[in-house]
Structures are given as C-alpha cells and as structure tokens.
Structure 1
Amino acid sequence: MWFEAALVAGACFVAGFCAGMAGFAFVLVAAGMLLHVVSPSVTAPVLVLGSLISQGMSLPAMWPHIEWPRMRFFLGVAVLGMPVGILVLAKGPAGAIVGGVGVLLVVYSGYMLARIALRMAPPEVRGSRRADGAIGFMSGILGGIGGFVGALPAMWADIQGWPKDRARAFMQPFIVFMQAITSVGLAASGFFTVQTLVLAALATPALVLGTWLGLRAYRALPAQGFRMVLLVLLFVSGISLLV
C-alpha cells in the first residue's frame, strides 16, 4: 500500500507539473508512469480525481476567457462520443483506436517540431464547426475508452495557431468538465473504493505542489516556449498511448 502510495504521489507530482505548465496531459503522463505497476482499476479513478484537482486549481483564472458557444458545442458532441468509447472499451478494438490516436499525435508533433527546428513557418489552418464536432466527438470516445480527453483538443488548438492563453482557456475547462462527468460514471460503477480514495488523498499534496510549480513555469514561458512544451507533451502522450 505504501509503495503504491509513493509511486502514485511521484507520478501525480510530475503529471501535475506538466498539466500546470501546458494545461493538459495529466492523465496521459501519470498513466504512462503507473499503468505498468498499478492496476488500471485503481489508477483510473485516482487519476481522474487528480486531473480534476490539478486542472481546477487555475480554472477560475480561465473562466472569463472561455468562449462559451464553442465550449458548449464541443462538450455536447464529446458527451455523445463518450458512450461510444465505453462500448468500444467493452466490445470493440479499443487498443487499435488508442494506438491510432497515438500514431497521429506522434506524427503530428514530430512533424511540427521538425518544422520549428528547420525554421519553417507553421501551416495556416482555420477551424470550422464541423471540424470542432469531429474533434469533440473523438475526444469523447477517447474519454470513454480511458479518460484521454485532452490530447486531441490540445493538438487542434496548436494546428490553428492559437495564443497560449486562448489555447489554455479552451483545453482546460473542457478537460475539467469531461473529467467531472467521468467521475460521476466511475462513482456510479463502484470504482471509488476505500483504497483509491486513500491513495488519492495521500497523493494530493504532491499533486498540488507539482501543479503550482507548473503554473509558475507557464507564466514565465514565452509563446514559442509554450508551443514547444505543448508539442513535446503531445509527442510523449502519443508514445504513452502506443506503449
């Protein structure tokens, strides 16, 4: 129990720092560190709670900057996609879908990092309601499969070249709302056992400290630095989905 608690606390500290700095990737980073040593039935509820705490710490500062019409539409289609993800997890090729998204993230972030290294201007891509719907729906499916709701919105914000504050005001509230819905589903399914709640409580101080340090790093990052962090985390997230 204490060994698991130390592992979870350490993973939550690192994931909290990454999420505080980039606005997403808490579950992806922590899961990549924990799933090989801690049972998924324990990891999932602890990380969903951790993501809620980490992302929620700076949500009040994001609130005035949320583009509510877009956010409501994005959330609506994501909620529709979540049952599809749960069904795929139960009966379909969940591993193939997650692996495909992992390949997409690795290829995209690798390509964009190469463009930066070669000093090439980023491609100009304009969003649309149809594209928002597709990304939101796929994010909901990934949420149903494993709570991986943040990677595709982060990639979508980067493709459109949004400034870091606008990107964060889009990604972070979406993740909080989706993880809140996921928490209700996990609670109704009986995943919040005494063990998971104790592990979450023991990990919270490390999580809060990591998130606080990440938020300080975010405020100091210039726009291009933020984009580099975002792309590196997208690359790491893609690798974690493939492993």
Structure 2
Amino acid sequence: VAMSFWVWALPPQLAAPLVVFASLWCHIIALSKERPHQLGISLVVPYIIAGLIGVPLGSYLLHQINAETFKLILGVFLLIWCPIMYLAPEFKLLKRLGKKTDAVIGFLGGVLGGLGGFCGSLPSAWVMLKGLSKIEQRYILRHFNFAIQLFTFAVYIFQGTVQLNQWPYIMVLMISVTIPAILGSQLFYKVSEKQFKHIVLSLLFASGTFLVISTVI
C-alpha cells in the first residue's frame, strides 16, 4: 500500500528500497512478538527457497522494466482478485496442490519483491485461495516476506540501488513504522478469521486502486 502512494512522488528506484526496508523492519518487530505455535518450518520452506531465486531477477528488472506498465498490471490484478475473494469462493482443487506449486508462487513473489517490494501480493492471494487458516497464512507470509525482504535489501545494497543519500529517509521510516508495527502485532490475535481476511483484502484492494490511479493520472 505504501508503494502505491510513494510512486506518485518518488521514482521506483528510490521508492522500492524504502518499501523493502519498512517492510523488513516491521517483520523484525512482528517476529519478536510472535506467540508460540505448532507450525513447522517446512510449511514455508518451498516459498522461501524459490523466492530467493526470484529476487535477483526482479532486482535486475527494476532498472529495465517500464514502471508504469508494471504498476498497471499489478493494480488491475488486485482490483479483479480482491472482490472475487471477498465473496469467499472455494477452490477445492487448489487445496490439493503441493509444494511444487507453492514454490512457483514463491518464485513469482521473489521477482515482485526484487522489482519493488511487492513480494507478499501473490503469496497472500495464494494462501487465501488455498483456504489456509489465519495462523497458517500469517506464519507463511511473515517468514516468507522477512526472508525475501532481507535478501532483497542486501541485493539492493550490493547493486548500488541503495544510495548514501537515502539513509536519512530509511532512518525516518524506522522510527515512524515502529509503533504501528507493534500495535498491528497485538491486534492480530484479537480479530477473527473473517475479519482478518477482510482486512487483508481491503489493504490489497486499496493498493491496487492507487497503483491504477497513479498510472492513469
């Protein structure tokens, strides 16, 4: 959602590192607040391994692809997908698909992460389509996003995408997102499965809306 606003005023090459760092810092805080659970790391490993492979490709495309075209395609996808998922359709076939398909989604998420910090968009849609529980969705997305954002930020530094003059922006972000991240971690355990789904869909729909608007205007 932040990227959708920032691309109005900032070039993708500046907005992307800011989004990645803000997301990374939020996940560090959220992981520190995570309550004990019985979920195993094998649930998220296929996503992470494939996602890490996709990050360098996305980072390369960040300097090659037409930013307006990318924003429009992703925005239209979210605008179509979110209302459909709000109606709570059941896709029983998807529930039977295994780790290979999860890895494909992870790879595409990694590409989008390297391209502009959007690594969670497709995996969010996927785990919801599979009908996973709120706890499972959160576990997969939190650990996947953390791993991908950490690697993406490292790649940005290595490639020179993160410039010295960007660090003041990054420090301001670190301060400004800390309290909201703590509050969000606490609120997660107070919302129902249905409320959680509607919150996620609303945020993704808002992101899609602003992506399309920022491209058209």
User: Which bin holds the TM-score, normalised by the shorter protein?
Assistant: 0.7 to 0.9
Cα drift, residue 178 of structure 1: 0.5
Cα drift, residue 30 of structure 1: 1.2
What is the CA deviation profile of residues 130-176 of structure 1, one whole-angstrom value per residue up to 9, with x for unaligned ones?
32122112112212221210111111111111111111000011111
Matches of 1:193 and 1:85 in 2, distance apart? 19
Look up the equivalent residue of 1:78 and give its one-letter code. G
For the pair 1:105 / 2:78, whether they are aligned, the reply is: yes
C-alpha spacing 1:39/1:63, structure 2 compared with 1 (3 Å)? farther
What is the CA deviation profile of residues 159-202 of structure 1, one whole-angstrom value per residue up to 9, with x for unaligned ones?
11111111100001111101111111111123333432112212
On the 8 A contact 2:20/2:116 being kept in 1, the answer is no
Cα drift, residue 107 of structure 1: 1.4
Matches of 2:143 and 2:35 in 1, distance apart? 8
On the 8 A contact 1:77/1:137 being kept in 2, the answer is yes
What is the CA deviation profile of residues 96-126 of structure 1, one whole-angstrom value per residue up to 9, with x for unaligned ones?
455333333221211122x25xxxx644331
On the 8 A contact 1:82/1:141 being kept in 2, the answer is yes
C-alpha spacing 1:198/1:94, structure 2 compared with 1 (3 Å)? closer
For the pair 1:165 / 2:138, whether they are aligned, the reply is: no
Matches of 1:93 and 1:43 in 2, distance apart? 15
Query: Larger deviation: 50-59 or 66-75?
Result: 66-75
- Per the alignment, residue 23 of structure 1 pairs with none
For the pair 1:130 / 2:73, whether they are aligned, the reply is: no
After TM superposition, list the pairs within 5 Å mapping 1:14-163 onto structure 2: 29-60=1-32, 61=34, 67-92=40-65, 95-96=68-69, 98-113=71-86, 115=87, 122-124=90-92, 125-126=94-95, 127-163=97-133
Matches of 1:63 and 1:179 in 2, distance apart? 23
- The alignment yields a C-alpha RMSD, in angstroms, of 2.4
Cα drift, residue 241 of structure 1: 3.6
- Per the alignment, residue 228 of structure 1 pairs with 198
On the 8 A contact 2:30/2:181 being kept in 1, the answer is no
Cα drift, residue 237 of structure 1: 2.6
TM-score (norm 2): 0.84
Matches of 2:5 and 2:21 in 1, distance apart? 17
Matches of 1:229 and 1:107 in 2, distance apart? 17
Look up the equivalent residue of 1:138 and give its one-letter code. L
Query: Which of the residues 157, 163, 175 maps onto 1:187?
Result: 157
- Per the alignment, residue 12 of structure 1 pairs with none
Cα drift, residue 92 of structure 1: 4.9
What is the CA deviation profile of residues 4-55 of structure 1, one whole-angstrom value per residue up to 9, with x for unaligned ones?
xxxxxxxxxxxxxxxxxxxxxxxxx111122212343332222222111101
C-alpha spacing 1:104/1:238, structure 2 compared with 1 (3 Å)? same
Look up the equivalent residue of 1:81 and give its one-letter code. G
- Per the alignment, residue 217 of structure 1 pairs with 187
Look up the equivalent residue of 1:74 and give its one-letter code. Y
Look up the equivalent residue of 1:86 and give its one-letter code. S
On the 8 A contact 1:62/1:169 being kept in 2, the answer is no
C-alpha spacing 1:97/1:137, structure 2 compared with 1 (3 Å)? farther
On the 8 A contact 1:49/1:200 being kept in 2, the answer is yes
C-alpha spacing 1:96/1:62, structure 2 compared with 1 (3 Å)? farther
Structure 1 stretches lacking a partner, 5+ long: 1-28
Look up the equivalent residue of 1:238 and give its one-letter code. G
C-alpha spacing 1:182/1:66, structure 2 compared with 1 (3 Å)? farther
